[in-house]
Amino acid sequence: MKSKEILVFIILAAITIASNLTKAVNIDDTAYLGMARAIISDPWHPLSQELNWNDTAEPIFVINQPILVPGLLAVGIKLFGESQIVLHLIISMTSLAAIAFFYLIAKTLNIQHALFLTCLFSLGPAFLPGQNLMVDMPLMALWLIFFWAILTARGKHTHRQYLIASLAVSAACLTKYTSLILLPILLWVLVSRRHWAQLLYLLIPTSFIVGWSIYNILDFGAVHILGRNV
């Protein structure tokens, strides 16, 4: 990477973190904070605990997403206390990952002015204000990692990239269930490229989803993904 690119990324990182670090916690963020507290309180039964978020106390499995992002927040709270700066910094790390992989995708596709487009992407009115304690930035980062991995899965790096793609899909599905759409995309890529041996990588996200579903049954007696409007 050239020195100019490094300097630009340092500036983008500084702006991204600064715009989020002391941002006020908004009303939707509180649901994720409540879920993080539930994970800390009882990590084996987080979804069956109640959260009074919308004027009525309801079990968390009724009103929230999977637990990956609240789990990250829970780790931050456990290690550093309920610091708004620490929690926003955790999310900012995923924002930086999104910026980096957007740039890598642009470079992979040989798009002209990849660095300029990355600046437009990261400084735009949707990206910087979109940072919060919810799933927006982590989900974007995971999707970009997934697409970068499948775009660069060739030659001696094929197996490694498909492994990265499979892990990104797994994490994305445990972040928000809309990420299930990435599974048929991965299947189509593998079949269209005739990478038959690599079809085994589909077992990774499948195993994560099955494991998550078993965890749900042990927690509140049902499969969360079947009862959610994605």
Q: What is the pLDDT along the chain (230 residues), one digit of tens a residue?
A: 678 889 999 999 999 999 888 887 777 788 899 899 999 999 999 999 988 876 778 888 887 689 999 999 999 999 998 888 999 999 999 999 999 999 999 999 999 999 999 999 999 888 988 888 889 999 999 999 999 999 999 888 899 999 999 999 999 999 999 999 999 999 999 999 999 999 999 999 999 999 999 999 999 999 999 886 54
- Secondary element (H or E) of residue 138: helix 136-151
175: its two tokens: 């972040």
Give dist(CA 222, CA 126) in Å, integer: 36
Cβ contact 119:100 at 8 Å: no
What residue has token string 């926003």?
A: 88
Bin 81: left if φ > 0, else alpha if -120 < ψ < 50, else beta.
left
Give dist(CA 57, CA 190) in Å, integer: 45
Give dist(CA 137, CA 162) in Å, integer: 22
pTM for the model: 0.93
